[in-house]
Amino acid sequence: AQKVTQAQTEISVVEKEDVTLDCVYETRDTTYYLFWYKQPPSGELVFLIRRNSFDEQNEISGRYSWNFQKSTSSFNFTITASQVVDSAVYFCALSEPNYGGSQGNLIFGKGTKLSVKP
Amino acid sequence: NAGVTQTPKFQVLKTGQSMTLQCAQDMNHNSMYWYRQDPGMGLRLIYYSASEGTTDKGEVPNGYNVSRLNKREFSLRLESAAPSQTSVYFCASQNPPTAYNEQFFGPGTRLTVL
């Protein structure tokens, strides 16, 4: 069965701390895609990154980095030197070409609410 | 280029009332989706439309109907609203409808059913 688990419901840090958001997934497919979305307090969902199952290279974008490890079925997201503007709910999601519905369907985790305090 | 738009932004209904949530996208995307977001539950797929003229059930379709009016518009209808349908509803679009492509989301509709 396909499943995405974000075990951390809420995290609170002080500005400039580093923080890692965990994402663990389950899939039977060998080809799949993983996504991270950000939902700031304003409510809209913003796409952050996509990773395919054949590319285990870590990705860094400014203060954001992502660590994909197939051996542990994890796709973790780290924010370095966090800022108040990073406060949001972050969702990890899984997409599989051979999923029963549309090939584009996303399976979301329940989200992690990050609060960065000044 | 507005992306994905949703109307209304907020709505309060009484139990048993009906309403239609509207969604439109101007990105010429083939696929469109309706999700609901509840506290602690993440986003759950209600219905989707892989292309114009087709619709299919998602994870939580009961109590809802959809219409893919044309390529741009995908509406969600609640025929007889229930308090359990109090939620934030998001519409999304994607092109093409493959596992590789990200979905683009609208701003959401916050619905309260009393």
HEC string of A66-88? Answer: EEEEHHHCEEEEEECCCCHHHCE
Contact between A44 and B105 using a beta-carbon 8 Å cutoff: yes
β-bridge partners, A43: none
Residue A90: C-alpha distances to residues A11, A55, A65, B17 (Å)? 11, 22, 14, 34
Contact between B100 and A50 using a beta-carbon 8 Å cutoff: yes
Contact between A52 and B107 using a beta-carbon 8 Å cutoff: no
Which amino acid is it at A56? E
| Contact residues, chain A to chain B, C-beta under 8 Å | 9, 31-33, 35, 37, 43-47, 50, 52, 91, 95-97, 99, 101-106, 108-111
How is residue A9 written in tokens?
A: 């419901």
pLDDT averaged over chain B? 93
Summarize the confidence of residues B17-28 as an average pLDDT.
96
- At A102 the pLDDT is 61
What letter does residue B103 receive in the DSSP assignment? P
Q: Using DSSP, state whether B84 is helix, strand or coil.
A: helix
**Using CA atoms, how far apart are residues B58 and B55, in angstroms rounded to an integer?**
10
Smallest CA–CA distance, residue A82 to chain B, in Å, is 23
Which pLDDT tens digit goes with each residue over B3-15? 999 999 999 999 9
* Chain-centre distance for alpha carbon A20: 10
- At A99 the pLDDT is 59
How is residue A57 written in tokens?
A: 């290279």
B82 contact partners, CB below 8 Å, separation of at least 6: B15, B63, B113
Contact between B58 and A47 using a beta-carbon 8 Å cutoff: no
How is residue B57 written in tokens?
A: 């059930």
- At A98 the pLDDT is 65
Smallest CA–CA distance, residue B77 to chain A, in Å, is 21
- At A24 the pLDDT is 98
Contact between A43 and B104 using a beta-carbon 8 Å cutoff: no
Q: How many CB atoms lie within 10 A of CB B25?
A: 24
A42 contact partners, CB below 8 Å, separation of at least 6: none
Q: How many CB atoms lie within 10 A of CB B90?
A: 26
- At A101 the pLDDT is 57
Give the pLDDT band (50/70/90) at residue B35.
very high
Contact between B97 and A95 using a beta-carbon 8 Å cutoff: no
- Pair B4, B28: CB distance under 8 Å: no
- Pair B103, B30: CB distance under 8 Å: no
Q: Which residue of A has its CA nearest to B5?
A: A44
Give the pLDDT band (50/70/90) at residue B40.
confident
Which amino acid is it at B104? F
Summarize the confidence of residues B30-50 as an average pLDDT.
92
How many CB pairs (< 8 A) connect A and B? 70
Percent with pLDDT over 70 in chain B: 97
Burial (CB count <10 Å: 0-12, 13-18, 19+), residue B111: buried
Q: Which residue of B has its CA nearest to A34?
A: B100
Which pLDDT tens digit goes with each residue over B80-104? 999 999 999 999 999 876 777 889 9
Q: How would you write the pLDDT of chain A (118 residues) with one tens digit per residue? A: 789 999 999 999 999 999 999 999 999 888 899 999 999 999 999 999 999 898 888 888 899 999 999 999 999 999 999 999 999 999 999 988 765 556 678 899 999 999 999 9
- At A56 the pLDDT is 83
